[in-house]
Amino acid sequence: MAGRGRRRGRARYAVRDWGAYDRALTRRGDVTVWVSPEAVAGWRAPAGRRTFSDAAIAAALTVRAVYRLALRQAGGLIASIFALLGLALPVPDHTTLSRRGRALRLDRRADAGRGVELAIDSTGLRLARPSGAGREGWRKLHIAVDPDSGRILAEEPTRSEILWAGG
């Protein structure tokens, strides 16, 4: 044992402001969900045999992709969110999501020529590290979303110590 040297442990940091530390930990679990009146109005298809609009299918598939859920789980999460928000909207089942999702093309680019407001988040998601990569193997995912349309306009995985400046 004497030849192995000193064992390296995690760095220890002294917390000086426990109130701020507690609030920061609480904010990590904060999820804000809002559904615009336009999205509620456009949830159902206008006419014909289809019950759900393409926007509804795209929204459900986006929730599925973001949270890496199976189709049934995505439907359950959306139903739960609607129940919490008090929205009486139907939720597409897994068969509808699968069938309609194959033919649906999602455009993730912003329209040229107009300004775009962005909501950017990089604090709540750490991507898995490769086995044996150590601490430097962690990655952060930075996401820029258009709050009006809900479209993801940019995404960038970076090493955890890099601050993202949008490009």
Long-range pairs for 21-27: beta carbons < 8 A, 24 or more residues apart: 27/123
pLDDT at residue 6 in the model: 61
Average pLDDT of the chain?
A: 75
DSSP for residue 112: T
Q: Are 51 and 90 in contact (CB under 8 A)?
A: yes
pLDDT at residue 113 in the model: 47
Q: Which domain holds residue 37?
A: 31-103
Most confident of 22-31, 68-77, 117-126, 128-137: 68-77
Domain closes at, from 85, 103, 121: 103
Weakest-pLDDT range from 16-30, 103-117, 141-155:
103-117
Please tell me the total count of domains within the chain. 2
Q: Is residue 25 part of a domain?
A: no
Checking if the pLDDT of 36 tops 80, the result is: yes
Q: Are 130 and 137 in contact (CB under 8 A)?
A: yes
Contacts of 31 (CB under 8 A, 6+ apart): none
* In a shared domain, residues 39 and 65: yes
- Mean pLDDT in residue range 106-118: 52
Checking if the pLDDT of 75 tops 90, the result is: yes
Task: Work out the percent of the chain whose per-residue pLDDT is above 90.
Answer: 15
Q: Is residue 62 part of a domain?
A: yes
* In a shared domain, residues 87 and 117: no
- Mean pLDDT in residue range 55-80: 90
* In a shared domain, residues 49 and 84: yes
Q: Residue 41: how many CB atoms within 10 A of its CB?
A: 9
Q: Would you say the pTM of this structure is higher than 0.85? A: no
